[in-house]
Chain A
Amino acid sequence: MANRIPDNKPNGPAAAALLAGGIGSAIFGLIVLFSEISESFGAALNWYNPVGPLSGKSTLGIAAFFIAWAVLHSMWKGKEVNFNSISTTALALLAIGLLGTFPPVWHLFIPE
């Protein structure tokens, strides 16, 4: 039964999507963190006044995800890559994204 399920797809495109998700999340988390540490950086991300700095932060984070995805996909299309190490890296980057969006983490870097 299991033998009838195809196993002929290279893992490159899947690894590219996963790593791009990690990169997008980490870049978003770091942008959020830096915008909290630096008021001028945060103010520079105010690209649409009704939304405030969140407009710049979210646009950059989403752009980082899609650009990283496009680049990695073109690099790894049709290729076999080391999925385990890439997925571990992607999950670590995702964790950085989570930490960067958590307010108590910001306070570790903001001088009292």
Chain B
Amino acid sequence: MDMTGREVWTVIHGMVFGFIFLLGFSGALYGVYSMSPEWLTAEGMTKNVNMIKAYVWGLALAAWAAVISGTYIVYPWYRARPPEGTTDFATFPRSLLLADESTAGWHEFGMEWKEHVAFLAPIAATVVAFVVSYYGPTLARKVGERRALMIFFIVSFAAAAVAGLFGAFITKAAPVR
């Protein structure tokens, strides 16, 4: 049951912030999709929108928390260079992956993609949260706006999913200890 401080931060980054975003995405997407005047009364719409606003802002904050904690707390431990002459790379995940041709791809493709694409998730999620908050119930009448928002949100989810998936695989191959 013991976990190092680094492992705890890795869990907070991926399994708390990242997981909240990935888990909450489908509910928020359905919330935006279901904002149709044919489906809800005006009162129902207002109540629904207040819930969706809190929901999408919560997801956007989770996405920002995931990329900031990942970049400025966990990533420095991942990419730390071992001192000259080090032969045991167990606490240097990047070097551990690159030391073996069979695992180098996890860094050269997986980590390189993950660390960059992840930043698109909070940007797109923030756009969605702002537009939902700005329009409120009026969004129900804005079909084009809802369509564009859903595409932004799906891209946001896809970016976070790539980051989360590779994060899990890389942690399995070379954990931050």
Contacts and interface: CB of A to CB of B under 8 A. Distances in A.
Interface of A is mostly: helix
Interface residues on A, range: 35 or more
A17 B116 CA distance: 21
B148 A18 contact: yes
A25 B119 CA distance: 8
Interface string B115-131: 11101100110110011
A55 B116 CA distance: 11
A34 interface: no
A87 B144 contact: yes
A103 B119 contact: no
A54 to B, nearest CB: 6
Contacts of A51: 71-72, 75-76, 79
Given A21-B126, A54-B75, A94-B155, A5 B37 contact: yes
B113 A21 contact: no
A9 B131 contact: no
Contacts of B140: 2, 5
B120 A5 contact: no
B117 A102 contact: yes
Contacts of A45: none
B135 interface: yes
- How many B residues are at the interface, by size bracket? 35 or more
B42 A91 contact: no
A54 B71 contact: yes
A18 B159 contact: no
A102 B113 contact: yes
Contacts of A84: 144
Q: Which of B113, B119, B140, B142 has the most CB of A within 10 A?
A: B119
Nearest to A86: B148
A90 B120 CA distance: 13
Interface of B: 37-38, 41-42, 45, 67, 71-72, 75-76, 79-80, 108-109, 112-113, 115-117, 119-120, 123-124, 126-127, 130-131, 134-135, 137-138, 140-142, 144-145, 148-149, 151-152, 155, 159
Given A28-B119, A28-B123, A103-B108, 8 more contacts: A14-B142, A17-B130, A21-B126, A21-B152, A51-B76, A54-B115, A91-B148, A103-B109
